[in-house]
Amino acid sequence: MNTDVVPGVVAVIAVTIATLAISTWGLQFSRTTSDFFVASRTVRPALNASAIGGEYLSAASFLGIAGLVLTFGADMLWYPVGWTAGYLVLLVLVAAPLRRSGAYTLPDFAEARLGSRGVRSLCSLLVVVIGWLYLLPQFQGAGLTLQAAINAPPWVGPLVVSVVVLVNVGSGGMRSITFVQAFQYWLKLTALLLPACVLLAIWAGDGAPDPTSRGGADLWSYPLGEGGAQGLYVTYSLIVATFLGTMGLPHVVVRFYTNPDGRAARRTTLVVLALLGVFYLLPPIYGALGRIYAADLAAAGGSDVLILELPRLMVGGLLGELLTGLVTAGAFAAFLSTSSGLAIAVAGVLSQDVTGRRVAGRRLSGVGAFRAGAAIAVVVPALVSVSSPDVGVAQTVGLAFAVAASTFCPLLLLGIWWRGLTPAGAIAGLAVGGLGSGMAVGWTLVTSGTTGWVGILLAQPAAWSVPSALATMVVVSRLTRGSVPPHASRFMVRLHTPEAVDLQRG
Amino acid sequence: MTSRLRPWRRTHLGTEADRATFRTLHTASLAAPALREGLTESSAERSLRHLRVLLGTPAAALTDTSGVLAWAGIGRHHAEETARFIADMGEDAPTRIADMSVCADYGCPVRQVIISPLVVEEVLVGTLVVGAPHATGSLIRAANEVAAWVSGQLELARLDDSRTALMEAEVRALRAQISPHFIYNSLGAIASFVRTDPDRARELLLEFADFTRYSFRRHGNYTTLAEELRSVERYLLLEQARFDDRLKVTLRIAPEVLPVAVPFLCIQPLVENAVRHGLEASAEKSDGVGRLWITARDLDQECVIEIEDDGTGEDPERVRRALAGDASMDSVGLGNVDARLRNTYGDDYGLVVETALGAGTKVTVRVPKFAPGVHV
């Protein structure tokens, strides 16, 4: 065996074993024996925030951003900015009321707010679609990583990740072992931070060359350097999608349930903002260093593996191998944690609405239905990722955000802040936003040749699909104002009154 | 084309008489939902619209025993006069026909009113008033039939009320069920510490105060699992003060499920049962210790709480009877908790009891993290 692959193999195996071990025996860590007053030990905001960070930082964050910055320059920094700022919107507008609603998933919120099974079913469908869209790049990233680390064929990564996730989910259905997810965040941070420090030291030792001066005096370091009106549109659309999409991600919202009250939900979100802010400082450093030391990667179309290749290119020797092992471990942790979170969120919905249904007079038991749901949740995106491996990792994630922003964002914002929302309005808005952004996504995934304004509008649908979904929801709700749910006002009071206020909430 | 369609349509919709019956039944079904809320001004208003259509008279009214609740149609100015007739109606008064005094409006079609009593459980609750130019025999018959039907609906409403009241009474009963023995024994145990260990006595007394405050609280049907478990812990502290080493408790709680909303006092009675079973058996065991395990796990959309003891166990048949609500069994808590869980979350979420004589008992409670209408 080639010695180049040793650190990668060791890293992947170590992370896999650690994840399986912690999730199998994890319950023992998270519970205390013979210890009284455990009930007062709710999950603290700092721990919960680490767990959210662990689940949220996906392949796109870990691998995608550095590659995008390397190839396209500074305007790609909107991705990390948007992914962080999404939590700011969540903090200000959604976190506390959503927690006070008592909903566990987004379909739960829709049902509680609007009292309609129809809206609930539509939301369930959207959760599955968004979950699959988001799982797709995780599997692609896994394929790329294993290809770069151990020269495996591209289908090995998706296979390994899906098997690990399925074993993980199937063994106990463990959704929120907070400790495991929190550990994953710190692993990912360390895996980027340590190599970054070493690489920066080497860069300083080389006389700190300026990344902007390499490869011709182009517009690499300018936001909106090129592209004119289309570039401006793409940037705005990206901002809309990422700022508003975060609140609609199925695996993020369920973690807020762990907070004991609305106030803790806000605190958690604040800490998440800080943790993500720290993390997202690192990938651009790799992007900039890659501009100096690995300029040919971008030309060869391998920008997504920049983070994995850079330590070896810059350091070499044993240290280089160690650092490579570390970033590979971090990347693998990114796929595993995000994929498990998403697989469980999608499996939960599928087991409730599809596999848990009575088919031909027979009905699967709760656990059986959940496992069947998990299998469907993982296998479908894994197959798609093997068959169409050439869409950029960060771009596919961007599409998932666009769909989330066009559907759940209007539902949550209007559901929380406007009592006039009706079930008919919600269904119409979800349909317009979901179909609009969904068709754009489908088009982009299937054909990648469209150029010009049509291609841009389809590749970045958020800027037109979010406003149209919002407008549809408002207009149809006004037209059907007679069907505002009778409990709307009471529900609003519950959403917006702090828990400290003594109030009859029934 | 039309002529060929007609025979088909006639057979499809039935004869003229059939259609009249359908219309009547449909009108009655429209009036029913409002009446099922009981006899109030708003329900009378909503149902009366349909009742007047049913009767086909110019005026109709619903009253309680003191006055008119709602008046539909013309002749509203007769309401006060009608109220006077109702006031002197006795308990088992028959239907009566009253002549309205000559009114200023010569065109007023309400010359006579038929007052039919509405009787629920043999008590007069109100009347149905039908106003017409002339009270014919058939109209009196119709008024009586409609009044009887309305009485039936009101009786059903009373039944709904009593079912809700029953559930509330059961929760109250559970609160009151904190046995006098427990209070007496706890205070006794605390008293024994007063001289030897005053600090502990003080702590236990505070635990006792908090425990009773939680158990006797009046508002809300739901609480968080954290609150419920805190109360369980207080209860166990007090029991352990009494039995010291004879009771070993292991709690394993996943912190993720602590915010779940659960029915008030749905864990506490189960723990009390387990403690009793565990202690009963401890005397016969070599080490003389009764063990108890309380586990709460996170299962995605649900949370699973298990209460297990290594006590004498129970005959499964007796448990089945206790769950079916047989009041002669001593585990009243079991049937009550089971009924409330099913009532709240549906029949899929009843208690699961695994037990056999001499093999201990394990009670499993499954609670969904979200259910419509369930919140703290």
| Three-state secondary-structure class, residue B7 | helix
E strands along chain B, which residues? 59-64, 68-73, 96-99, 112-120, 123-132, 222-224, 247-253, 261-263, 290-299, 302-309, 352-355, 361-368
More confident residue, A469 or B213: A469
Cβ A330 vs Cβ A19: under 8 Å: no
Is the pLDDT score of B97 beyond 70? yes
Using an 8 Å CB-CB cutoff, list chain A residues near B252: 27, 31-33
Distance in Å, alpha carbon of A90 to nearest chain B alpha carbon:
20
Mean local confidence (pLDDT), A96-117:
91
Residues A299-319: pLDDT tens digits?
A: 776 777 888 888 888 887 888
CA atoms within a 13 Å half-sphere pointing along the CA-CB vector of B248: 11
Query: Residue range B16-21: average pLDDT?
Result: 86
Span B232-244, mean pLDDT? 85
Residue B280 near residue B288, CB atoms below 8 Å: no
pLDDT band at B366 (very low <50, low <70, confident <90, very high): very high
pLDDT in tens, A68-94: 888 888 888 888 999 999 999 999 999
Cβ contact, residue pair A38, B251, below 8 Å:
yes
Backbone angles phi, psi at B68, to 5 degrees: -75, 130
Q: What is the pTM of this model?
A: 0.78
Residue A153 pLDDT: 84
Which of A39, A101, A505 is nearest residue B253 as measured by Cβ atoms? Answer: A39
pLDDT 10s digits, B54-75: 888 888 888 888 888 888 888 7
Q: How far apart are CA A110 and CA A415, in angstroms?
A: 8
CB contacts, 8 Å: B344 with chain A: none
pLDDT for position A218: 64
- pLDDT value, residue A214: 59
CATH node for A3-28+41-390: 1.20.1730.10
pLDDT at A3: 56
Would the CB atoms of B233 and A260 count as touching at under 8 Å? Answer: no
Picking from B224, B250, B255, the nearest residue to A30 by CB comes out as B255
Which conformational region is residue B285 in: left (phi greater than 0), alpha (psi within -120 to 50 degrees), or beta?
beta
Q: What is the CA radius of gyration of chain A?
A: 23
Q: Which of A36, A55, A105, A492 to mutate against chain B (most B CBs within 10 Å)?
A: A36
The pLDDT of B348-355, averaged and rounded, is 89
Question: Is pLDDT at A420 greater than 70 in this prediction?
Answer: yes
The answer, yes or no, to whether residue B4 has pLDDT greater than 60, is no
Could you identify the residue written with the tokens 């829709």?
A110
Amino acid A412: pLDDT: 95
Q: Which residues of B touch A37 (CB under 8 A)?
A: 230, 233
Q: pLDDT over 70 for what percent of chain A? A: 85
Q: How far is CA A11 from the centre of its chain?
A: 23
Residue in B252, B256, B374 closest to A33 by CB: B252
Closest of A180, A141, A158 to residue A54, by C-alpha: A180
- Which chain B residues contact residue A259 at CB under 8 A? 259
3-state secondary structure (DSSP) of residue B93: coil
User: What pLDDT, on the 0 to 100 scale, is given for residue A25?
Assistant: 62
Confidence of residue A410 (pLDDT cuts 50, 70, 90): very high
Rounded CA-CA distance B358/B353 in Å is 15
Q: How far is CA A287 from the centre of its chain?
A: 21
Whether residue B187 has pLDDT greater than 60: yes
Domain range annotation of chain B: 2-158, 219-368
Pairwise pLDDT comparison (A336 vs B286), residue with the higher score: A336
Give A158-187 pLDDT, tens digit per residue: 888 888 888 877 665 444 467 778 888 999
In this prediction, what percent of chain B has a pLDDT beyond 70?
90
A33, A102, A259: residue with CB nearest B250: A33
Residues in A lying within 8 Å of B, measured between beta carbons: 27, 30-43, 101-105, 108, 111-112, 115, 173-178, 257-261, 344, 347-348, 352, 366, 370, 494, 504-506
pLDDT classification of A450: cutoffs 50, 70, 90 = low
**pLDDT band per the 50, 70, 90 thresholds, residue A31:** very low
- Render pLDDT for A361-372 as a digit per residue (tens, 0 to 9): 566 666 778 888
Instruction: Give the pLDDT score at A184.
Output: 86
pLDDT tens-place string over residues A91-105 = 999 999 999 998 989
Kindly determine whether residue B255 and residue A347, on different chains, have CB atoms separated by under 8 Å.
Answer: no
> In this model, does residue B10 exceed pLDDT 60?
no
Q: Residue A417 — very low, low, confident or very high, per pLDDT cuts 50/70/90? A: very high
Task: Provide the shortest C-alpha distance from residue A188 to chain B (in Å).
Answer: 23
What is the SS3 assignment for B230? helix
Task: Flag whether pLDDT at A251 surpasses 70.
Answer: yes
Residues of A with Cβ-Cβ distance to B259 under 8 angstroms:
42, 257-261
**Nearest of B268, B190, B262 to residue B230 by alpha carbon:** B268
Domain ranges of chain A: 3-28+41-390
Q: Which residues of B touch A39 (CB under 8 A)?
A: 225-227, 229-230, 233, 253, 258
Judged against a pLDDT cut of 50, whether residue A225 lies above it is answered with yes
Q: At what angle do helices A393-417 and A228-245 cross, to 10 degrees?
A: 60
Q: In this predicted structure, what is the pLDDT of residue A85?
A: 94
Q: Which of A37, A260, A344 sits opposite B259 (nearest CB)?
A: A260
What is the mean pLDDT of the segment spanning A392-402? Answer: 80
Q: Strands B290-299 and B302-309: what pairing?
A: antiparallel
Residue of A nearest to B374 (CA): A102
User: What phi and psi, each to the nearest 5 degrees, are found at residue B304?
Assistant: -115, 125
| pLDDT surpassing 90 at residue B175 | no
Pick B300's closest partner by Cβ from A103, A108, A344. A344
| pLDDT at position A46 over 50 | yes
For chain B, the residue count is 376
Please indicate whether, in this complex, the C-beta atoms of B300 and A173 are within 8 angstroms of each other. Answer: yes
Average pLDDT over residues B309-314: 84
In the structure, what pLDDT confidence band is assigned to residue A328 with cuts at 50, 70 and 90?
confident
Q: What is the ipTM of this complex?
A: 0.83
Q: Give the span between the Cα atoms of B143 and B130, in whole angstroms.
A: 7
pLDDT given for residue A26 in this prediction: 53
How many CB pairs (< 8 A) connect A and B? Answer: 104
Placement of tokens 């989330």 in the chain: A404
Contacts 24+ apart (CB under 8 A), A296-305: A297/A70, A298/A67, A298/A70, A298/A71, A302/A148, A303/A66, A303/A67, A303/A68, A303/A70, A303/A71, A304/A63, A304/A64, A304/A67, A304/A141, A304/A144, A304/A392, A304/A393, A305/A63, A305/A67, A305/A144, A305/A145, A305/A147, A305/A148
Residue with the larger pLDDT of the pair A473 and B63: A473
Residue A477 CB-density burial (10 A; 0-12 exposed, 13-18 middle, 19+ buried): buried
How many beta carbons lie within 10 A of that of residue B302, not counting itself?
22
Alpha-carbon distance of B228 to B249, in angstroms, equals 16
Bridge partners (DSSP) listed for residue B18: none
Q: Does B200 touch chain A (CB under 8 A)?
A: no
How near does any CA of chain B get to the CA of A103, in Å? 6
Per the model's pLDDT, the better-predicted residue between A297 and A492 turns out to be A492
Which CATH code fits B219-368?
3.30.565.10
E strand segments, A290-445? none
Phi, psi dihedral angles at B26 (to 5 degrees): -65, -45
Higher-pLDDT residue of A247 and B175 is: A247
pLDDT at A506 over 80: no
- B chain contacts of residue A263, beta-carbon cutoff 8 Å: none
pLDDT of A223: 67
Task: Yes or no: say if A69 and A196 are a contact pair by the CB < 8 Å rule.
Answer: no
**Cβ contacts of A38 on chain B, cutoff 8 Å:** 229, 251, 253, 255
Residue B143's identity, in one-letter code, is A
Chain B residues inside the 8 Å CB shell of A33 = 250-252
- Ranked by mean pLDDT, the top range of A166-170, A179-183, B144-148, B300-304 is B144-148
CATH number for the segment(s) B2-158? 3.30.450.40
**Partners of residue A348 in chain B, C-beta under 8 Å:** 300-301
User: Over 70: is that where the pLDDT of A389 sits?
Assistant: no
Q: Is the pLDDT of residue A29 over 50?
A: no
> Contact, A396 vs A241, CB < 8 A?
no
pLDDT tens sequence across B252-268 = 888 888 889 998 888 98
Q: How far is A10 from chain B (nearest CA, A)?
A: 32
* Inter-chain touch B370–A258, beta carbons under 8 Å: no
pLDDT band, very low/low/confident/very high, at A336 (cuts 50, 70, 90): confident
Nearest to A102 among B256, B261, B300 (CB): B261
pLDDT for the residue A120: 92
CA angle A318, A320, A322 (to 5 degrees): 70
Write the CA distances from B365 to A34, B32, B261, B262, B374, integer angstroms.
21, 38, 13, 10, 16
Contact B261/A at CB under 8 A: yes
pLDDT at A32: 41
* CA-CA-CA-CA dihedral for A441, A447, A452, A456, to nearest 10: 20
Query: What does the DSSP 8-state code read for residue A178?
Result: H
> Which pLDDT score, from 0 to 100, does residue A279 have?
95
